[in-house]
Amino acid sequence: MTVLLIALGAALGAPLRYLTDRAVQARHNSAFPWGTLTVNVTGSFVLGLLAALPAGSGAMAFAGTGFCGALSTYSTFGYETVRLVEDGARFYAVLNAAASVAAGLGAAYCGMAVAQAISA
């Protein structure tokens, strides 16, 4: 049953990642990967929220592992950062790495804070 919940969550997260990435990137005429940053920060926020809520194992499998796992994407982040270096955009590569880590951690913290505020 857990595998099915993960697959269902991923079936929602993956297309949402693609659509969000394309929509965000279409609005920015820049080599910087704004779309990937957006989905990764969003996934971090949602996962932080879920981690701080009293969610059961089924909810965590569906939303945490499935949905957030498919919504956020470390592999694309890594690929795009390397591509920026290869294209000579080292500043954007460093900015992408630093912003992704800092914003992801900050978003997870904010998600946890929101969860604690609404469950208090």
Give the residue numbers of the binding site for Na(+): 69, 72
Token output for 26: 């279409």
Q: Which helix (H) or strand (E) holds 36?
A: helix 34-52
Residue type at 37 in one-letter notation: L
Binding residues: 69, 72
Only one residue has tokens 């950062």, namely 81
Name the packing angle between helices 2-26 and 34-52 (round to 10°): 140
